[in-house]
Structure 1
Amino acid sequence: MIVSSLLDTDLYKFSMMQVVLHQYPAAQVEYRFKCRNPGVNLVPYIEEIRRELDALCTLRFSDSELEYLRGWRFIKSDFVDFLALFQLNTKYVDITPSPLNNGEIEIRIQGPWLHTILFEVPLLAIVNEVYFRNTHPDLDLSEGRRRLREKISLLRDTPGYIDCRIADYGTRRRFSRQWHREVAETLHEGLGPQLAGTSNVWLAWQLGLRPLGTLAHEYLQAHQALGPRLRDSQVAALEAWAKEYRGDLGIALSDVYGLTAFLRDFDMYFCKLFDGTRHDSGDPFAWGERVLAHYEANRVDPRSKILVFSDGLDVPKVMKLYEHFHGRCQLAFGVGTNITNDVGPVPLNIVIKMVRCNGQPVAKLSDSPGKNMCQDDAYIAYLRQVFDIPMQAELEPAA
């Protein structure tokens, strides 16, 4: 059994799920899977993935897990009470070969947002582990351990970086659950306070690490169908978040419509209200410069705000960003695939994205066109017009 606890997911799934329970309990959504690696044949593993999905859907939160969640300052008691009754259901998930017969698979998750939001991260972890344990069943992890030690040494032993801290953001694309735990333990032991924490709630609980995360793209995408009107959807999403958390979990995600559209909505009120912003597409140096200038233009001291970088990072890139922005603002770095699936074989670049909410298409138009995913070209054109987003490269088709 690959996933043996419902805590084995990223923190932002719980923080978003609480908002859904309190503000959007009737919302209906659809997610689709995409493997961006060319030539990867996942079809032979469909039955094994289905068996792991069946096992996932037998899990319930234990009393000790619920008590751990209840101890978080931003989790409300009624949400924990709901989780005590919660169980994932296979009826919301379909896994089939692509009709194109090209080795791709289609994973479609459709149902109430409240009852499907927790599928994404464990399902991606399942696909990863099933694939690698079949394609590399006897892989010697000594190379992965050597690479991990080098990363730790580089960050820990290079003069001038003692205050540079990284976090584990690698649950979705990890090589395996066992390797993920070994990585987290090794980072904890090797980096000490330079390990800020982990996005994985189960590992945070088991290892005494700080769980990290706020919200994901799906939250802002859903508001395209939940807000008062499309143009106000980003503002509505941020205001709903502030209503729920009253200043806690204050990191805003900036790239659902691209940075220019984000900054138009992220006015002085939001600049002061939110603790910082997260980068997840486009040039991180250019992004950071524009965000810092935006804070200054809104009479906010950038040194009081956090820039969170989380897009395809490795340790050398973290160090370059730290060197560039250190002293000008507070910094946080989330490193994912490069620490949890850097063991030799090429990692899978797989995602599960929300594509519809309440029967309407939703989309992400980030500063990296290859990350975009939508099924409706007419909606994309309309979205670009509403948010005044210039044309970019062709959108990645949904699975």
Structure 2
Amino acid sequence: MSGFVPVIESLLDTDLYKFTMMQEILHHQPETQAAYAFKCRNTPERPLAALQAELETQLDHLCSLRFSEAELAYLAKLRFIKSDFVDFLRLFQLQRRFITITAQGEDLDIRVVGPMLHCMLFEIYVLSIVNEIYFRQVPQASALAIGRERLKAKLNELNALSQQAMPTNPFVFFDFGTRRRFSKVWHAEMVGILVKQAAPYFRGTSNVLLAMQYGVTPIGTMAHEYMQAFQCFGSRLRDFQTNALEHWVREYRGDLGIALTDVVGTDAFLRDFDLYFCKLFDGLRHDSGDPYEWGEKVIAHYIKMNIDYGTKQLVFSDGLTLAKSIALYRHFAPRTRTGFGIGTHLSNDCGQVPLQIVMKLVSCNGQPVAKVSDTEGKGMCEDENFLNYLCDVFKITHR
């Protein structure tokens, strides 16, 4: 194809938690059918519908890719990745028939429907592709120059922190920017700079390909779709969170011990996060709501469970900047371990207004699922009756 520049050139160019969730589904719910829907939470400066033709071509290319033996060997070296899952990936190829795109006015309606094992990897690739072809419309050289200057300023912030960081609970952060990056070229350059210049604070990236290329730790455990899927997996709806956490514990047996708290809100999560789970999980991840209130609630919960919260980790990942991360660190580090997953502020701080795009699970095995969240506008459900029922079961209010 003349002039065609692929966005995705390796199936490892995605976030680690896609593989960890996929492995659990393979082992325990391989027959699951799923549907995912794309959503842009803000108003783009340019119509997304104009991207449709290029997006179709990019998806055709994406669905031609296979994992290489070198990539599979890298995954196999991760101690929590099992050999049968690697064998499955050796045969794996995304199927073009499972994803459809239609223009809805100036917006895009992107849907992925089919076996969950063959659909769940689409999410990060689709978001990365939409971002990149959208931002190709702006002057690249000037945008990258802005990105480099702003990254230099962030490195200066880190240098200032070195005089104040606490040795017992050091400041650590990770790159979580794959899904909303300005471009894959800038993402790779940015991570490379952090590897060289942000030690010892920079501890890894969620992007598996970049982790492999730069020899850093791939970061990630679970996302909302994993917890949401258990709303349809046979247990009472009231028990879906405990069922999901129990399956995770059995699959990973001590590895990947950070749980996500806001699928039906933190209060409802903590009611299910009993002494058993408090002891088994290494910590919790914040992704919506006020981060200070969340952290205090989590610490209070550990105290209530008679757990030494200083041994646990609070991981923050909701719309973080480096300055916000440092402020949260100063607040919580005297008491417990922290970690910060920074996304758009690292991978798409190039002078453009970032797209706030997501692709969420909306049904599973023919039944609706919901994400309620602790922040207005971050929830997602396509069935109002199910959403109301879910909220009634958990005694919560949807936003």
| Shorter-chain TM band | over 0.9
State the SS of the aligned residue for 1:213. Answer: coil
Matches within 5 A, 1:7-86: 7-39=12-44, 40-86=46-92
1:88 aligns with 2:91: no
Deviation at 1:156, TM superposition (A): 2.5
Distance in 1 separating the partners of 2:256 and 2:173: 18
- The percentage of counterpart residues that share the same residue type is 54
- Give me the whole-angstrom Cα distance separating, in 2, the residues matched to 1:112 and 1:201: 23
- Aligned-residue offset at 1:328: 1.0
Residue 349 of structure 1, CA deviation: 0.6
The answer to whether residue 309 in structure 2 is matched with residue 302 in structure 1 is: yes
State whether residues 227 and 237 of structure 1, in contact with CA within 8 Å, keep that contact through their aligned partners in structure 2: no
Unaligned runs of 5+ in 2: 1-5
Query: Which whole-Å CA distance do the structure 2 matches of 1:376 and 1:44 have between them?
Result: 29
1:363 aligns with 2:366: no
1:160 match: 164
Residue ranges of structure 1 left out of the alignment (5+ in a row)? 394-399
The structural deviation recorded for 1:38 is 1.5
**Residue type at the aligned position of 1:290:** K
CA deviations on 1:316-367 (whole Å, 9 max, x unpaired) are: 1001100000131111100000000000010111000000000000001110
C-alpha separation between the residues in 2 aligned to 1:244 and 1:107? Answer: 32
Q: Aligned match of 1:325 in 309, 319, 332?
A: 332
Number of the residue aligned with 1:214: 221
State the alpha-carbon separation in 1 of the partners of residues 60 and 271 from structure 2: 45
Give the 4+ runs in structure 1 shifted more than 3 A. 135-140
Aligned length: 389
Give the aligned partner of residue 256 of structure 1: 263
Does structure 1 conserve the Cα–Cα contact (< 8 Å) formed by 2:143 and 2:351? no
Q: Do residues 122 (structure 1) and 129 (structure 2) align?
A: no
CA distance in 1, matches of 2:150, 2:141: 18
Aligned partner letter, 2:50: P
RMSD: 1.1
Taking the aligned partners of 1:319 and 1:153, their CA distance within structure 2 comes to 13
Q: Give the Cα–Cα distance (whole angstroms) in 1 for the partners of residues 56 and 285 of structure 2.
A: 34
How far is 1:135 from its partner?
4.0
Indicate if the aligned counterparts of 2:208 and 2:218 stay in contact, CA closer than 8 A.
yes
1:292 match: 299
The structural deviation recorded for 1:138 is 5.4
User: What's the counterpart of residue 3 of structure 1?
Assistant: 8
Deviations 1:177-236 (A, max 9, x none): 000000001111111121010000000000001100000000000100014110000100
TM-score of the aligned structures, taking structure 2 as reference length: 0.96
Query: Where does residue 349 of structure 1 map in the other structure?
Result: 356
CA-CA distance at 1:116 after TM superposition: 0.6
Cα distance in structure 1, aligned partners of 2:355 and 2:69: 35
Cα distance in 1 for partners of 2:274, 2:141 equals 53
Give the stretch that moved more between structures: 134-143 or 199-208: 134-143
- The DSSP-based 3-state class of the residue aligned with 2:178 is coil
Partner of 2:3: none
